[in-house]
Amino acid sequence: MNINALRPLDGVGKKLFVETYGCQMNVGDTEIVISILQQEGYRYTERIEEADVILINTCSVRDNAEQRIWGRLADLRRFRKAKPSLRVGIIGCMAERLKERLTEGRDAVEIVAGPDAYRDLPRLLREAESGGRGVNTLLSQEETYAEIAPVRLDRNGVSGFIAIMRGCNNYCSYCVVPYTRGIERSRDPETILGEARELLANGYREVTLLGQNVNSYRFGEVDFPELMRRVADISPLLRVRFATSHPKDISDRLLEVMAAKPNICRAIHLPAQSGSTSMLGRMNRKYTREWYLERVAAIRRYLPDCAVTTDLIAGFSGETDEEHRDTLSLMREVGYEFAYMFKYSERPGTFASKHLPDDVPDEVKAARLQEIIELQNELSLASNRRDVGREFEVLVEGTSRKRKEQLFGRNSQNKVIVFDASDDVKVGDYLRVRVTDCTPATLLGVRI
């Protein structure tokens, strides 16, 4: 018998609201947090006004991400005024980074929980309910929340995320993630396969395996290529994606498995960060420009129709004009389908904050970022234009936001394709579509 059954559940009659910032890992963690607190009797609400407990799942990756949260805490003052019994908590990466500092000052919160402390939330909430503060920012070497069934918040019911590993051991010199998320650990493959099968049974048609560095997944004998093979074998109807991969771990074996399984999507997110070998050295990325380009060539060899997307940072410590131009030329050489592009933001506690001064003036960073964005817009449009006239299999995800009589879905390359709706097509169907036109962000198509 469960010992918890002997005591009343603390959350009965109380409503929980959770707001999520940051990466997909945080989105997944929110689903785990809701699951844990529902066990405790809390009911999830999407209406913040009626909440008894508000949790904010936070991101620390850049300073502006943290500034947004401070602004949000100031917004919450009016809710606290209206309901003095309201309890507010900061969870996630910013909780880990700032710890007790969040319980001080005008916007002090009652609950602080780091990414590995979510099982302790019921106790932390009890502390908060009894007038104290609940703080737990211990990082763990084992926690993967492996057996907790996340409460799915994604609304389309077609495409779901499965966290397969947590943490990061790479220590890129600019990055705060290894400090906020702790060391790498992988989840038991059986629990991953179980979750994927359940999603399929519930009508889902796509899973994305998630981690800060998915391709360093390893659990006993099962490494990432083997895990991908097993997930892909569940059903040809289930598409499989993954994010994010570190270039150092994109192995030929993974590419072989992908090439052998048509339901593994032809899309690889391969963050380059910079196109300059000297810069990559300062970033502690563990590869050179040449090595990165060789991996892209390997992708093209195994998967000629694979989309390659990336992350880039403008204006990292000591960046020269030449290094910046190397990033632009790398972008042209690879011809990225899409990129996330950022201005470098120094993070306290990282190697760079201690040893590599943030010496590129803000105007220079901004100008370089602008050049990168403009070039990527050109590349994205060129890539979309190449698709005009081609046929793709599309998984239908929903109704177009702009025009109700249109549906949208994605092709294997993860590009959005919009096409006319008809009565016999529903969300979750696979369709063949021919692309007839495009914008910089979307492909327009017709059913065939």
Residues binding ligand SF4 (CB under 6 A): 168, 170-172, 175, 177-178, 212-213, 246
Minimum CB–partner distance for residue 273 and ligand SAH (Å): 5
Does an H or E element contain 210, and which?
Answer: strand 206-210
Site stretch for ligand SAH (CB under 6 A), options 10-18, 170-178, 290-298, 389-397: 170-178
Q: Which of 14, 87, 166, 181 binds ligand F3S (CB under 6 A)?
A: 181
- Cα distance between residue 353 and residue 337, in whole Å: 32
- Cis peptide, bond prior to residue 244, ω within 30 of zero: yes
Binding segment toward ligand SAH, per CB under 6 A, in 7-15, 171-179, 319-327, 426-434:
171-179
Dist. CA 396–CA 143, nearest whole Å: 35
* Secondary structure (3-state) at 372: helix
Nearer to ligand F3S among residue 30 and residue 380 (C-beta): 30
- Of 316 and 408, which CB lies nearer to ligand SAH in the complex structure? 316
- Give the Cα separation of 369 and 79 in Å (integer): 38
Q: What is the smallest separation between the CB atom of 123 and ligand F3S, expressed in angstroms?
A: 23
In the block, which residue shows the tokens 């989105």?
Answer: 27
The one among 57, 159, 216, 273 contacting ligand SAH by CB under 6 A: 273
Which entry of ligand F3S, ligand SF4, ligand SAH, none binds 25, CB below 5 to 8 A by partner kind?
Answer: ligand F3S
Alpha-carbon span 42 to 53, nearest angstrom:
9
117 interacts with ligand F3S by CB under 6 A: no
Neighbours of 163 (CB within 10 A): 24
- 207 and 231 Cβ atoms separated by less than 8 Å: yes
β-sheet bridge partners, residue 309: 269, 338
Distances (CA, A) of 207 to 107, 134, 241, 243, 263: 38, 35, 6, 11, 11
Let me know if 253 is exposed, middle or buried by CB neighbors in 10 A (0-12, 13-18, 19+).
middle
Q: Which CB sits closer to ligand SF4, 42 or 342?
A: 342
Q: Which of residues 310-339 bind ligand SAH (CB under 6 A)?
A: 311, 313
| Residue 212 interacting with ligand SAH (CB under 6 A) | yes
Sheet holding 307-314, edge to edge: 267-269, 307-314, 338-343
C-alpha 367: how far from chain center: 27
- Contact status: 249 vs ligand SAH (CB under 6 A): no
Is 175 a residue that touches ligand SAH (CB under 6 A)? yes
Q: Measured from the CB of residue 434, what is the shortest distance to ligand F3S in angstroms?
A: 37
Is 292 near ligand SAH (CB under 6 A)?
Answer: no
What residues are paired with 301 via a beta bridge? Answer: none
In this chain, which stretch among 67-75, 175-183, 200-208, 284-292 interacts with ligand F3S, using CB under 6 A?
175-183
State phi, psi for 43 to the nearest 5 degrees: -110, 135
Q: How far is the CB of 351 from ligand F3S (least distance, A)?
A: 16
Between CA 377 and CA 27 the distance in angstroms is: 27
- Paired with 15 in beta bridges are 43
What residue 171 binds from ligand SF4, ligand SAH, ligand F3S, none (CB within 5 to 8 A, per partner kind)?
A: ligand SF4
Site string for ligand F3S, 69-108 (x = CB under 6 A): -----------------------xx---------------
Annotate 102-124 with b (16+ C-beta within 10 A) or e (fewer): bbeeebebbbbbbbbbbbbbbeb
Q: Which is nearer to ligand SAH, 184 or 397 (CB)?
A: 184
Binding residues (CB under 6 A) for ligand SAH: these are 61-62, 168, 174-175, 177, 212-213, 244, 246, 271, 273, 311, 313, 342, 344-345, 347
Binding residues (CB under 6 A) for ligand F3S: these are 22-23, 25-26, 59-61, 92-93, 176-177, 180-181
